[in-house]
Amino acid sequence: MSSYSNLAYAWIAGLLLGIVFLGGLWWTVQKGLVSNNPALWFLGSFLLRAALVLVGFYFVSQGPWESLSACLLGFLCARIFVVRGLARMLLRERTELVKENPLAS
């Protein structure tokens, strides 16, 4: 396997780790806001998400340092994708709400 394919796999791994981390954060906020014990949700979720990302970065770091850099770049790209995706989703929900009830704006 060439080094470019290794870098691509590392980037994809970072992208997936970022999506899981940030998607888990979004899910935790949704569940934690309506929970009777939100501190338990936030702490447990953070520990689980951080452990998952650390294990993922550990396995990627077994190769050359370039792989770890590509994985980190993928993680940061996932942040951009998730934040933009959630912003579009929230904007779409708000637009639908305003269309249903024009006085809600």
Closest-CA residue to 31 (of 19, 20, 47, 43): 43
11/81 Cα distance (integer angstroms): 14
Tokens 């770091």 belong to residue? 61
Q: What's the pLDDT tens digit per position in 5-45?
A: 899 999 999 999 999 999 999 999 999 999 999 999 999 99
Q: In this predicted structure, what is the pLDDT of residue 73?
A: 96
Tokens of 34: 């309506």
Model confidence, pTM: 0.82
Q: Which of 19, 8, 28, 26 is nearest to 77 (CA)?
A: 19
Return the domain boundaries, the chain. Answer: 3-104
